[in-house]
Amino acid sequence: MYKIIYKKCLNDFVIMMDVEAPLVARKAEPGQFIILRVDENGERIPLTIAGFDQKQGTVRIIFQVVGATTKKLSHKNAGDYLSDFVGPLGTPTHTEGLKKVCIVGGGVGCAIALPVAQKLHAMGCEVHGIIGFRSKDLLILEDEFRACCNQLTVMTDDGSYGRQGVVTLPLEEAIQAGEAYDEVLAIGPLIMMKFVVATTKPYQVKTIVSMNPIMIDGTGMCGGCRLTVGGETKFACVDGPDFDGFSVDFDEAMQRGSIYNNYERHAYSETCNLFTKEVE
């Protein structure tokens, strides 16, 4: 059993929790994820490690309530226990040697992007952040990003905060203005990542995307998380979740992501799942 030490609501749909899991905290690196089960008959769901504290032995997760399991998780409070919490899984985000990076985060994807941004910043890399949300009330982690980005642009779809428009807008402007990024790192809904790649590809700016397919075990045992990358089958849980954006077959990934849409028992998911937003 894994104790929830701390809980905070970041907005109406996004919740942050620190969970006691010293073995996971000991090894965690930005870009890796955990798999948890809330209770005995629960589903296994993957969530990115949004932060960790090795001294306290805690791991931070930030999740959006989209369906049955995340809803159940949102009802847990500090002091409650989760029945399973395994990790760190996946390959850490590659950061070595990077001097200048643009991090593009969309919605709850910003939670995944943050630890990478922090690590790059701590390494002395110049970090430009572009984070996008549908509207002001969904904005999360702005202060945290400000603290680790040399430049931060906040975008909202409806213009209720920051600049109005999609994240690819300022990205393209920056590239056109001559910002020489070693890498663009895009983390968010599939459709956003697809458009980021479409933006960077003409300029041949290396672009890494963080894929979120449906997973079960997270160890390479089921193949449910498979993607086609550069014509080859890859398992996101072990080979990823980061992949070269130019090689990922996004259309296939979007289709696969919707496999259980008819089975989801929660109407909730219709309205607020940023990961499948606009995909269906």
Ligand X SMILES: Cc1cc2nc3c(=O)[nH]c(=O)nc-3n(C[C@H](O)[C@H](O)[C@H](O)COP(=O)(O)OP(=O)(O)OC[C@H]3O[C@@H](n4cnc5c(N)ncnc54)[C@H](O)[C@@H]3O)c2cc1C
* Residues within the interface to ligand X (CB under 6 A): 33, 43, 45-48, 62-64, 66-70, 108, 111-112, 212-215, 241, 257, 260-261, 264, 266, 269, 273, 275-276
- State the minimum distance, in angstroms, from the CB of residue 110 to ligand FES: 24
**Residue 173 dihedral angles phi and psi, to the nearest 5°:** -60, -45
Does 224 engage in binding with other proteins (CB under 8 A)?
Answer: yes
Give which of other proteins, ligand X, ligand FES, none residue 70 binds (C-beta under 5 to 8 Å, depending on kind): ligand X
Does 57 engage in binding with other proteins (CB under 8 A)?
Answer: no
DSSP structure string for 188-250? S-HHHHHHHHHHHGGGT--EEEE-----SSSSSSS-TTEEEETTEEEEHHHH-SEEETTTB-H
The two three-digit tokens of residue 161, written as one number: 């905060």
Site for ligand FES, rule CB under 6 A: 215-218, 220-225, 235, 237
Does 211 engage in binding with other proteins (CB under 8 A)?
Answer: no
Cα 107 to Cα 157: distance, rounded to the nearest angstrom: 11
Cα 42 to Cα 96: distance, rounded to the nearest angstrom: 38
Cis peptide before 241 (omega within 30 of 0): yes
Give which of ligand FES, other proteins, ligand X, none residue 56 binds (C-beta under 5 to 8 Å, depending on kind): none
Cα 120 to Cα 267: distance, rounded to the nearest angstrom: 39
- State the minimum distance, in angstroms, from the CB of residue 91 to ligand FES: 12
Give which of ligand X, ligand FES, other proteins, none residue 191 binds (C-beta under 5 to 8 Å, depending on kind): none
Does 262 engage in binding with other proteins (CB under 8 A)?
Answer: yes
- State the minimum distance, in angstroms, from the CB of residue 188 to other proteins: 20
Q: By CB under 8 A, name the one of 12, 203, 259, 271 that touches other proteins.
A: 259
Give the CA diameter of the chain.
54
Q: By CB under 8 A, name the one of 44, 76, 134, 136 that touches other proteins.
A: 44
Give which of other proteins, ligand X, ligand FES, none residue 241 binds (C-beta under 5 to 8 Å, depending on kind): ligand X
Does 94 engage in binding with other proteins (CB under 8 A)?
Answer: no
* CA 29 to mean position of chain CA atoms: 14
- Write the CA distances from 210 to 5, 38, 66, 160, 167, integer angstroms: 28, 24, 19, 27, 16
DSSP structure string for 250-279? HHHHHHHHTTTTTT---THHHHH-TTTTTT
> Which of these segments, 36-44, 166-174, 192-200, 202-210, binds other proteins (CB under 8 A)?
36-44
> Which of these segments, 7-15, 102-110, 198-206, 213-221, binds other proteins (CB under 8 A)?
213-221
Cα 226 to Cα 211: distance, rounded to the nearest angstrom: 10
Give which of ligand FES, other proteins, ligand X, none residue 273 binds (C-beta under 5 to 8 Å, depending on kind): ligand X
Query: Within 10 A of 151 (CB to CB), how many other CB atoms are there?
Result: 14
Contact 61, 50 (CB under 8 A): yes
Residues in touch with other proteins (CB under 8 A)? 23-24, 27, 37, 41-44, 68-69, 72, 83-89, 216-224, 226, 228, 233, 238, 249, 252, 255-256, 258-265, 280
